[in-house]
Amino acid sequence: MRFQDLVESQTVISKVIQNSIVMNKVGHAYIFSGDYEPFLIETAQLFAKALFCESPEGAEPCGVCRNCRRMDSKNIVDYIEVEPDGASIKKEQIQQLLSDLSLRGAEGDRQVYVIHQAHKMTTQAANSLLKFFEEPGVGKLAILVTTQPQLLLPTIRSRAQQLAFRPIDRTKLAETMSEELACTYDMAYLALTVYPKWEEAKEALHQEWFVQAYGLVVQLIEVLTKRPQELILFAQEKWLGHFKGRNEMRVGLELFEIWLEEALNMKVRDSYTPKIFTNEASLYGEFVQNRSVQKIARAIESVHDAIRRLEANVNPQLTFERLSFDLQKG
């Protein structure tokens, strides 16, 4: 990605970042907030690359110097990314980060660290980071990436500059990706929605597992629509054999949620045509015919509850069985 690619969709943010680089007025902490994390992270990486580049043109990184190549291969010691460990970012992780920052810094004055899903910092983690914000030292830049900025501590928000990204046109992204990888638009859109990173979405599209996951979600809906009494049996015989770990289960549930949301759209808006699972028009029809708006909304809420339980480390199998009961009850 280059700044020129960013200008069209994020004109203001692109300007703010480029100006800060060119005028040498980069702050010590930014919050990148928006609806699609991979894009926010890619922009954070571009920001860092521009700062490390040995011969930028304006703010645009050259792409060929030693540091640009190191950034591309994620092999640069002064650039650190922190991701949640399970459901949260813990105090120990922030302490490790701060200790890494103080030990490193050998290759230049500039150090950039990016915190993914920053809203998942525990209060203790956020407080450790805040102490650091008070005396960040020269050249250190924090980029906190989040899709839920309202969940950050107010003290964090007030000490960082917030850049709110405009919503991403996922439709366009999915079109580009489906052309690039020669897969269907449906599959590209679903992968982009359920995987938090581009690379993971791309990898999923190359794998049979994801294609089968799609098929199983359709089967789940068929069972729920035509033979709801067989739901538990379906869970045990089919679903649980495919969606095994916590993350696989999350993917399955989120795919199902996308279906439910499209069904809800169909129910509340006359002449709405679902944009996803487009091959399943007749199943959509049958599904919404015998369900009230409230019933579909309750199903979505049940899926949310299930995802929350997974994040709280409840066993995936139990989580899905509980969901099956909830869905059967309606």
Contact residues toward Zn ion (CB under 5 A) are: 53, 61-62, 65, 68
> In terms of C-beta density within 10 A (0-12 exposed, 13-18 middle, 19 or more buried), how is residue 14 classed?
buried
Task: Name the residue nearer to Zn ion (CB basis): 7 or 65.
Answer: 65
Measured between alpha carbons, how far is 20 from 35 in angstroms, rounded to an integer?
A: 24
Report the nearest approach of Zn ion to the CB of residue 57 (Å). Answer: 9
Measured between alpha carbons, how far is 261 from 243 in angstroms, rounded to an integer?
A: 21
Task: Name the residue nearer to Zn ion (CB basis): 62 or 218.
Answer: 62
**Cβ(125)–Cβ(90) under 8 Å?**
yes
Task: Name the residue nearer to Zn ion (CB basis): 65 or 98.
Answer: 65
Count CB-CB contacts under 10 A for residue 249: 23
Report the nearest approach of Zn ion to the CB of residue 317 (Å). Answer: 49
Report the nearest approach of Zn ion to the CB of residue 56 (Å). Answer: 6
Report the nearest approach of Zn ion to the CB of residue 66 (Å). Answer: 8
Report the nearest approach of Zn ion to the CB of residue 142 (Å). Answer: 22
* CA distances for 220 relative to 8, 91, 263, angstroms: 40, 40, 14
Task: Name the residue nearer to Zn ion (CB basis): 65 or 130.
Answer: 65
- 3-state secondary structure at position 167: coil
Task: Name the residue nearer to Zn ion (CB basis): 34 or 56.
Answer: 56
Task: Name the residue nearer to Zn ion (CB basis): 22 or 318.
Answer: 22
Instruction: For residue 146, report the phi and psi dihedrals to the nearest 5 degrees.
Output: -155, 145
* CA distances for 289 relative to 12, 214, 263, 269, 300, angstroms: 45, 23, 10, 14, 17
Measured between alpha carbons, how far is 84 from 74 in angstroms, rounded to an integer?
A: 19
Report the nearest approach of Zn ion to the CB of residue 58 (Å). Answer: 12
